[in-house]
Structure 1
Amino acid sequence: MMKGKGIPDMRGVIIEGDSNIMIMQLLGPSLEELFNYCKRQFKLKTVLMLAIQMLERIELVQNNHFIHRDMKPDNFLIGHKKPSYIYLVDFGLAKRFRNPKTGEHIPWKEGKNLTGTARYASLSTHLGYEQSRRDDLEGLGYVLMYFLKGKLPWQGLPGRNKKEKYERIKEKKKSTSIESLC
């Protein structure tokens, strides 16, 4: 289990039938909940202060040779006893990007299914490429723009099914300029 600043402490594990239950330290609300409480817009200063801690959490994960693969406001929680402290949670989709024995980077692959949350997933992820460190950073960039603007250009696009919706999100991400996003 990964340990470090901004990673919740694991207190124990209970095995109940086919389920593994992790007991972790109590944390406060997610940044999504806080965002909603603040009428769905943070000031630039708030976003910059959050960005510093969020980048530090991603750096810690990546220094341990993992990628998170699911950047989203719901996966960043504030501390219960330290409300100015941000924690990164939900490592269910995390993956090693280096072979622990050889230190080699995972091989480049194409044709991968989207892993993570489509709204914040990198364009490369939508295009079916194996995720790497840059994809966590691009996802974080989308989260920060969401906090500043209150909405992303591809948010709420309709689709008859998940595949169609993901395709529309991908096309909107491809056609959105950095200037209009920021």
Structure 2
Amino acid sequence: MTWRAPEITRKNEPYVGDERTMLEGWLDFHRQTLLLKCAGLTAEQLKTASVEPSGLTLLGLVRHMADVERSWFRQRAAGEQLPDLYDYTTDRDADFHDLADADAEAALATLQAEIDAARTAATDRSLEDTFELPRGDRTATISLRWVYLHMIEEYARHNGHADLIRERLDGVTGD
């Protein structure tokens, strides 16, 4: 039997709530949207590029977002000493590349594990908590609130890519 990405039931974003509830709800909505774009596809479909010359794939987006979850919530905001998920020393887009032998099922499990770990890392932190991050020739002070907003933006942008890739693969569209 051919493996397929699991079906998911996406929950609506919250319509009312305090700031934290709204940020977490919208981020979860966008996390689930990426998984929804992958649902029902085979590993080969997840590895199929959108259209030449782009090499962008749904599996590349899944791998990228797993590393982004780890980077912003765990490594930066929580200060956990963790390696990156992919080796960026020779390829700054390693998460998007070398997918031929990549395990799609494992990549989706890694994304879910990083989402769960990101939630845990943020749970006891205030939205006002900050960390320092080198940005070019200066150091920026960044709040956990900013991380939530950035992650919503990151997922929203990539979910647009995912929507186009999915439509190209099998004609499925939707929000």
Same fold? TM cut 0.5: no
Larger proportion of helix: 2
TM-score w.r.t. structure 2 length? 0.27
TM-score w.r.t. structure 1 length? 0.26
Higher relative contact order (CA 8 A, sep 6+): 2
Larger proportion of strand: 1
